[in-house]
Structure 1
């Protein structure tokens, strides 16, 4: 599974960083940084981050490829 953030939608609100701090963070310039790949143990937090995004800019790809 991989995380994808649609940068054309994301406005760096940072709610994802609150929900899943191991995978999302705002850098010193306030820009979202994230890890595309993640450990399965973090999937619940990532799903919470997806749900918390006011612009629905985060997608979770379940493809193995």
Structure 2
């Protein structure tokens, strides 16, 4: 599975980082950096990150 980011939509709130710090983080400029490949034991964290994004910039495919 993969996490995809709609970069223009992302506003850098950081809620996804709080939900899944092992998968993503905000860099020094506030841009989201993420590990797009999700393994089975990370799926719940990835779903939580997608769910808390206030601008729906993340998706799991």
Tell me the TM-score range normalised by the shorter chain.
over 0.9
Match of 1:30 in 2: 30
RMSD (CA atoms): 0.7
Larger C-alpha radius of gyration, 1 or 2?
1
Give the aligned partner of residue 59 of structure 1: 59
Q: How many aligned residue pairs are there?
A: 61
Residues 1:44 and 2:44 aligned together: yes
List gaps (5 residues or longer) in structure 1.
none
2:27 corresponds to 1:6: no
**Structure 2 length-normalised TM:** 0.93
TM-score by length of 1: 0.88
Structure 1 segments, 4+ long, off by >2 Å, are: none
Unaligned runs of 5+ in 2: none
